[in-house]
Amino acid sequence: MIFLRIGWQFWRGFHFLRHTKRAVTIFGSARLPDDHPFCDEARALSRGLAGLGFTVITGGGPSIMQAANEGAYRAGGESIGINIEIPREQKPNPFITAGLKCRYFFVRKVLLCRYSEAFVIFPGGYGTLDELLELITLMQTGKMIERPVILIGRDFWKGFLEWSKTTLLTHGLINERDYQRIQLVNNAEEALKLFS
C-alpha cells in the first residue's frame, strides 16, 4: 500500500509541475517573523526573479517561504508552493498561485529540485541545512546536473563555510570542487546579478 501511495505522490507532483519553466527554488526558515530582514530580502529577490521571467518555487509555508512567494505574487509572477503534511500543521501561505501538499519529505524534495534551474538558500535551521547538503551531495555524486546554489547572508553562513573549508576540505572529506559549488552573497541585489 505504501508503495502505491508513494508512486501516486510522485505521479501527481510531476503532473502538477510538468509545464513549469525557468524556475528557481528558494529555501529558508519557517520560524522567522514576517518583518525580519531576511524575509524582506526574500520578497525583494523573488520580485526581481519574477521580473526576469522566473517561476518561484518554495516549500509553501510561512516566514521566508511566504515572503518569497509574496514577492513573486505581487510582481505578477508564478508563485508555487510544495507544502508538507507534518504533525504541527503547516498551512499553505496565501501568496501561492499554484500549490500542492506532499505526505513524504523525500517526494517534496524531489519536486522542489527537479524543475529548478537554480537554488537560493536563505538562513534556516536543520531542515534548511538538510536541503542544502542534499543538493550539494546530489551534484557531487552526479545524481543531479550542476546548477547554481546561492547562499544569502554572509554573516549567517560564513561559519558554516569556514568549517567546511578548514575541517572538511583540510581532512580530505570533500574536495575543492565540492566547496566551490556554493556561491555566497549578502543580499537579494547581489543574488539577482547572478541571474542577469
Amino acid residing at 178 = D
Count of the separate structural domains present in the chain: 1
CATH number at residue 95: 3.40.50.450
Alpha-carbon distances, residue 87 vs 84, 90, 104 (angstroms): 10, 8, 12
Split the chain (196 residues) into runs of 10 and give each run's mean pLDDT: 91 95 96 97 98 97 97 98 82 94 94 96 97 95 96 98 95 91 97 94
Q: What is the pTM of this model?
A: 0.95
Residue 17 lies in a domain: no
Residue 4 lies in a domain: no
Residue 170 lies in a domain: no
Q: Per DSSP, which regions of 86-141 are E strands?
A: 98-102, 116-121
